[in-house]
Structure 1
Amino acid sequence: METIIMNIILHSGNARSLAMEAIKEAKEGNFEIAEKHIAEATQSLGEAHRSQTDLIQGEARGEQSEISILLIHAQDHLMTAMSVKDLAAEMVELYKRIA
């Protein structure tokens, strides 16, 4: 359980960092790099989401998942990273239009 939770945190954190880097690069006019970071953030979110899906499928099979502060923290990281990535993608597009 802890391994799955840590995977969610790890990949979500990576995705959030990549999304923030994308905004920074777009701000500097480096749109190709920005788009690469968005793509990498999307991949990291996919990894985090797969770990989350493992937990959900286990529970659907009747396996009990203990709700812990660490699990809640992981879910918070995932949802925040998803929002940041979506907003970063929009900001990259806006910076492109401005340029």
Structure 2
Amino acid sequence: MATDDDRVDRLIVQVRAVLCWHDPEGLLAHGCREDEYDPEAWDLAVLILTGRPMTCELVLDTWDRWFGPGSIRVRDSSKPGRGGRADR
């Protein structure tokens, strides 16, 4: 039987896979390891597990916390018309 820790670990792996596929900061394209996005994946997985709706604002807040206001993704995503749910 799966434990809560197993569930969290699986979710983190899934979130990391999405982040690595999108490579929003271009880190993997520059040779960084796939675990580069682990802190962000952990934070996003915790948000998902709380049951709160995953909004762009929550994702951008997480991204800004880790990458700062100079982040390419934060700058591009904060343009007008970029609101809504983050799970699109």
Q: TM-score, normalised by structure 2?
A: 0.31
In terms of Rg, which structure is larger?
A: 1
- Could you say which structure has the greater relative contact order, defined with CA pairs below 8 angstroms and 6 or more residues apart? 1
Structure having the higher helix fraction is: 1
